[in-house]
Amino acid sequence: MKRENKKSMIEAENRPATENKLETENRPVTENKLEAENRPVTENKLEIENRPAIENKLEVENRSAIENKLESENRLKIEDRLPEKFKAEMKNLLTKEYDLYIKSFSRPIYRGIRINTNKVSLANWEKINPFKNLKNIPWCEEGKYYFDDRPAKHPYYSAGLYYIQEPSAMAVVALLSINPEDSVLDMCAAPGGKSTHALAKLNGTGVLVANDISFSRARVLEKNLETFGSKNTMIISEDPKKLITSWKAYFDKIIIDAPCSGEGMFKKDEKAIKSWQDLDRSYFCEQQKSLLDAAAQLLKPGGMMVYSTCTFSTEENEGRIEEFLAEHNEFEIVNIPLNFGLSTGRLNGTIRLWPHKVDAEGHFVCLLQKKINSIVEINRFKNNQSKKIKDDPILKDFFEAHTHMNLNQLILEHNGKIYAVNDNFPPTLKIRTLRSGLFLGELKNKKSFVPSHSLAMSYSKDFFKNVISFSSKTNLIEVEKYLKGETLFSDVINGYHIICVDDYPLGWVKALNGVLKNKYPPSRM
């Protein structure tokens, strides 16, 4: 056999084995190389040619199936978590709308901020708003939904430009016609959402008495009111029944955000669901009745009060109002227009904010007015404070040097602490009082005056003579250092200065030779 033929024969016999071996060894390399080279071209071409058709087809075919499956799974999970007694009550209350209510648990938790119009107008807020995607809350002009932002982290929160509040809770004071110069009582005020709202409506006039029977909760209330700017405010911690002796028929407006079983909290607080089963509803009903009865005596003829809860229970809502009206014929319900998705309650004139009808977690609200011709005994009194800032040389020197304060401002002194008050402040004898008026600061050994954080937070920068303002955009590091209590440095005159963010006060520093000693309260860091 010739050599060529033998070679061809061997090649023919070995080619399959060789090719198979090479294919096995090289296929991954070859495929990977081809895939790397051709994928972009192929995918781009397919994407361009087929994306609309594929997406439309998938969307049409799968959307309903996916949504139905998720809805079914979520509904089972939600209903399994809810107490059987609660579900039975809600089915009886809502009938055909029960399924819609259950579906509302799958909606996002709605969160809101309420702009402090005492510090920034709504028009100016739109110019400085640092957040994305804010949306108006329809029943509260100052209210905004927020979504992806964290408003408590922004220095505007520390400056008191807004209060973080659940959207349906904003309806309570929004629906109560608070006028300038009104005397207002918030009976269950902590943590301060409705009190800060009332402060904004009073706009530095009248008197707000913010009360919470729990002293520890009243301390939280005090902090929030201070940040918001609490001029013309008394903060007390007392059983409302004890107020009747001193303040009978004194108030123009009263807010009762009553303690309740908290069913509106179920979506955002798993603990609320668990604790509900152990609650005695009659306990809350007794408290609610006591609050309403006390308010009836504290309100002036012609005055209005608002009763609200965050429960869906008819026993704690309409039931309390029906019982109250049966015992107090000097009161009548004030009708509230059913705008913005608000629903009527089971009692004409009362309203409900249902979580399946509005973007909120739920509230009950009822406005009540005391008839103008009501015959009641009224305690008439006038604040007997006569001392003024100008009467104390140390106070006079401080306020002349650092502020544009009216030196005829009436003041109250208690253990060296100085409060600004006005003629309309009710007496606080035998009432447990945390603050009576605006806390201005403290006299130290009758030699010097130390200004309070409240003073810094209650006025605009134009009220102060020495101001250092940082930009939230270009000097945010300095702002953050200040809010952490760190020492700052600046070549300014010695003495007290107000630190601002974008011209909104944050608190005090005391300058000495270019070193700014931080006076921001440690409790707020």
Which phi-psi region, left, alpha or beta, contains residue 446 (left: φ > 0; alpha: ψ -120 to 50)? left
Q: Output the six-digit token pair for 419.
A: 């409060």
- First-to-last CA distance in the chain? 99
- Cα 58 from Cα 247, distance rounded (Å): 69
Residue 366 falls in the annotated catalytic set: no
Handedness of CA 24, 29, 33, 38 (dihedral sign): positive
Task: List alpha helices for 235-280, DSSP H.
Answer: 240-247, 270-276
Handedness of CA 296, 298, 299, 305 (dihedral sign): negative
Helix, strand, coil percent values for the chain (each to nearest 5): 45, 20, 35
Distance of CA 473 to the CA centre of its chain: 25
Compute CA distances 78 → 72, 74, 267, 272, 513, whole Å. 10, 6, 9, 14, 63
Q: Where do we find the tokens 């604790």?
A: 275
- Cα 172 from Cα 139, distance rounded (Å): 10
List beta partners, residue 448.
Answer: 444
List beta partners, residue 260.
Answer: none
Q: Where do we find the tokens 């079914």?
A: 72
- Cα 514 from Cα 521, distance rounded (Å): 21
Compute CA distances 325 → 46, 297, 338, 389, 434, whole Å. 72, 14, 22, 47, 34
Q: Which residue out of 140, 188, 260, 310 is catalytically annotated? A: 310
Q: Which residues contact 122 (CB under 8 A, 6 or more apart)?
A: 115, 141, 142
Kindly report each contact of residues 152-157 with a partner whose C-beta sits within 8 Å and lies 24 or more positions away, as own/partner: 154/130, 154/472, 155/472, 155/476, 155/479, 155/480, 155/483, 155/501, 155/506, 156/128, 156/130, 156/472, 156/501, 156/502, 156/504
Q: Which residues contact 497 (CB under 8 A, 6 or more apart)?
A: 466, 467, 468, 508, 509, 510, 511, 516
What interhelical angle do 215-228 and 193-202 show, nearest 10?
A: 40
Compute CA distances 377 → 173, 249, 301, 302, 390, whole Å. 27, 7, 10, 14, 38
Is the distance from CB of 426 to CB of 381 less than 8 angstroms?
Answer: yes
Which active-site residues does the annotation give?
310
